[in-house]
Amino acid sequence: MSTHEGRDHWQEWIKNQLQEVEVLPRKEYLEESMKVLLATLHEERRKVRFRKRIRRTLEGMAVAAAAVAIIYVAPQLNNLLQGDGSTALDQGPAGQPGEKISIMGETAKETEDSSAVKLENKMFHIQLPASPLKVGSEFEVTGEVKQGPEADSQGQLRYEVEDGHNILASGTLPSVGEGTGWQPFVLKVKLEQKPTSPNGLLILYTNQAGQRSNELTIPLQFVEQQGSPDAAVKHDVSAPLPPAEEAYPAQSVRVLDRHEEDQAFSSYFKLLHKAVQERDVAALKKAMSPEIYLSFGGQKGYRDLEEMWKLKTNPEASPIWSELEKALKYGAKKDGEYFRAPAIELPAGTDEYRARAIVGSNVNVRSAPSMDGKVIEQVSNLLVRMPKDLTKYDKPGWKAVILPSGKPGYVAAEYVVEPLGYRAVFGKVDGKWTMITWIAGD
Amino acid sequence: MDDERLVERIKQGDDDAFRELYHKYVHQVFRYVYLQVGDYQRTEELTQDIFMKVVKGLVRFRGQSRFQTWLFTIVRNCLTDELRTYKKKRLTMTVPQEDLIRMDDRFDTVEDRVLREEAREELIRHLQKLSDDYRVVILLVDLEGFSLREAAEILNRSEKATKSLHYRAMRQLRQVVEGGMNVEYS
């Protein structure tokens, strides 16, 4: 036998030996695993749907804006150019004010008031004073819904408010009159938790045996919530605790502040801190890259940030300050050539959609979202799990958590860091440190 | 149904398609991970992490490579850190009898079977003595049946480099096996 044949023969033997090895997972493991994976899959699908809707809505808004320009500007332009009004462009896309422009199954209709927008599909008509609709923690939307036998077959009428990360409110549409055809309705929405992003969507849809259709998406912009978190919840001891549920094993989170290791970064970081403390917009602008990457809907650059966070119109009240304070308070961790904030390191493999970090020493975990709640446990730098139904349990200023023991409790929001909350990345542009990313969500 | 079609159906909201895809690959991934880390409980955790990444990545899977190749790229990425962290532990591990279930009790006599099992366990122990790169390439090519081109894609190397790595890995495994216990392999 040649060496070659010997080697082949040997390799074949290895192959056979290996392929006969079977290591079997436990049956219960497979079942449990499948449950968790399916839940994650549903969550992922929901996110994809949400991103698609956002994209579609933004595209729709752009198309509507362009169409409005054609409707109003083109005829006038023609008059100016030709004087008699009978022009080739009249036969083109331009029409009379009030004409409908169809956008991917949904229609945006221009109304008398040029800033007002009407959104509609075959089930819903919505009239908005402006788009995106600026809303607080409670708001109203008026519109019309199609009634009649054909509409009935579409199923239940429902709504949902999302901020790209959480469902902030959901429910059925209020009942309307008995008649057929278009019936008016007033939808009153109360957000059950604080938005984690300045933008969101109100989605009206029909639900037939779990199947969603006739979705009409309404872009929202969340304006600052009224009242301070502390004042709102001081005496809310009656709020229910989430049920005990599966918990993470006790694992520590680490605060890895390394901002002082790089002298240039350290000076930059201190200036940024000062800018935030003093609510100094000019200094903040200097500390951010003009091309800063922002989450959600494709906004990018300092100008979009300025717009999203109202730094131009009402800088004092902008929610960006408290978000920045929260992100920067633990310093910054080094990550290759970048620094990142918050400087919290979670255990490897943490599910960032379900995890929360309680950061601090001897932080009180209470039985209710209030300073009057009984202290159940004191914990330090600990990884905990979010309860399954967050919208029900998180309260302004308080975060619901499931402790490693499986016990539920509330922690003051200032001690809680969420992996998908607002975070900053710092990098060097032209040799100078600057904030290159400011994002939340995934 | 082929994997790409299953992925398409999963994206469209078909949970049964996901169940089918999971059951098609979970045993394979589980065995592969176990042979890399040698710890049953850790294998359960890592396999779960891997499929979690699969679920989150499915929406971005565009079918440029075979699903199985893409899956094992995720497996490799998940195991890289793990292997770095647990190197010492793995080198001293032994494979517990009850973790391994053998498939060849068809015609053999009990004695034959015992001999084969011993040889196989010995081989698994020898595999653990190889460097991570060597063990990984052998498991991909000889255990999982990937072509050298696919293994190269998973390992993020050129095909030529992978071929040479596989050759060297096999040579070293042979040295380890022949230099160690007296194993009957012909």
Angle (CA) A361 A362 A367, round 5°? 135
For the residues of A25-51, what is the DSSP string, one character each? Answer: PPHHHHHHHHHHHHHHHHHHHHHHHHH
Q: Which of A279, A319, A349, A5 is nearest to A163 (CA)?
A: A319
**pLDDT for the residue A2:** 57
**pLDDT for the residue A239:** 66
Sign of the CA dihedral A54, A60, A66, A68?
A: negative
Q: Are A18 and B104 inside 8 Å of each other by CB?
A: no
Q: What is the pLDDT of residues A298-354, one digit of tens each?
A: 567 888 888 878 888 888 888 888 889 989 989 999 888 889 999 998 887 777 778
User: Closest Cα of chain B to A100: distance in Å?
Assistant: 31
Class of domain B94-186: mainly alpha
Distance CA A52, CA A297 (A): 10
User: Closest Cα of chain B to A122: distance in Å?
Assistant: 23
* Confidence category of residue B176, pLDDT binned at 50, 70, 90: confident
Test mutation, A9, A14, A248, chain B, max B CBs within 10 A: A14
Q: Given 3.30.70.60, 3.40.50.2300, 3.30.1330.20, 1.10.1740.10, which CATH number is that of B1-87?
A: 1.10.1740.10
Q: Taking a C-beta distance cutoff of 8 angstroms, is the pair A254, A381 a contact?
A: yes
Q: Are B120 and A41 inside 8 Å of each other by CB?
A: no
Q: What is the pLDDT of residues A119-150, one digit of tens each?
A: 888 889 888 877 778 888 888 888 888 888 77
**CB burial class (10 A; 0-12, 13-18, 19+) of residue A210?**
exposed
C-alpha distance across the termini of chain A, in Å = 60
Looking at domain A102-222, which CATH architecture does it have?
A: Sandwich (2.60)
B113 part of contact set with chain A, CB < 8 Å: no
Pairing of strands A211-222, A254-255: unpaired
* Confidence category of residue A226, pLDDT binned at 50, 70, 90: very low
Q: Are B19 and A10 inside 8 Å of each other by CB?
A: no
Q: Which residue among B44, B123, B145 sits closest to A25, beta carbon to beta carbon?
A: B44
Q: Taking a C-beta distance cutoff of 8 angstroms, is the pair A211, A151 a contact?
A: no
Residues of chain B with CATH 1.10.10.10: 94-186
**pLDDT for the residue A16:** 85
Amino acid identity of residue B89, one-letter, is K
**pLDDT for the residue B55:** 92
The domains of chain A are located at 32-86, 102-222, 229-439
Measured CA to CA in angstroms, residue A378 lies from A23, A308, A409, B103 at distances of 42, 38, 11, 52
Q: Taking a C-beta distance cutoff of 8 angstroms, is the pair B166, B137 a contact?
A: yes
Per DSSP, the three-state class of A209 is coil
Q: Are A34 and B22 inside 8 Å of each other by CB?
A: yes
Distance CA A110, CA A237 (A): 49
Q: Which residue among B81, B101, B120 sits closest to A24, beta carbon to beta carbon?
A: B101
**pLDDT for the residue B114:** 64
* Confidence category of residue B21, pLDDT binned at 50, 70, 90: very high
Q: Taking a C-beta distance cutoff of 8 angstroms, is the pair A182, A125 a contact?
A: yes
Pairing of strands A138-147, A124-128: antiparallel
Q: What is the pLDDT of residues B86-140, one digit of tens each?
A: 654 544 444 454 445 444 444 456 666 666 667 777 888 888 888 888 999 999 9
CB < 8 Å to B121, chain A = none
Distance CA A431, CA A438 (A): 20
- Token match 């290791």: residue? A261
Helices (H), chain B: 3-11, 15-37, 40-58, 67-85, 87-91, 110-129, 132-138, 148-155, 159-179
- Token match 């100078």: residue? A432
CB < 8 Å to A35, chain B = none
Q: Are A23 and B34 inside 8 Å of each other by CB?
A: yes
Using a pLDDT cut of 90, give the percent of chain A over it. Answer: 16
Q: Taking a C-beta distance cutoff of 8 angstroms, is the pair A355, A384 a contact?
A: yes
CB < 8 Å to A23, chain B = 30-31, 34-35, 40, 43, 99-101
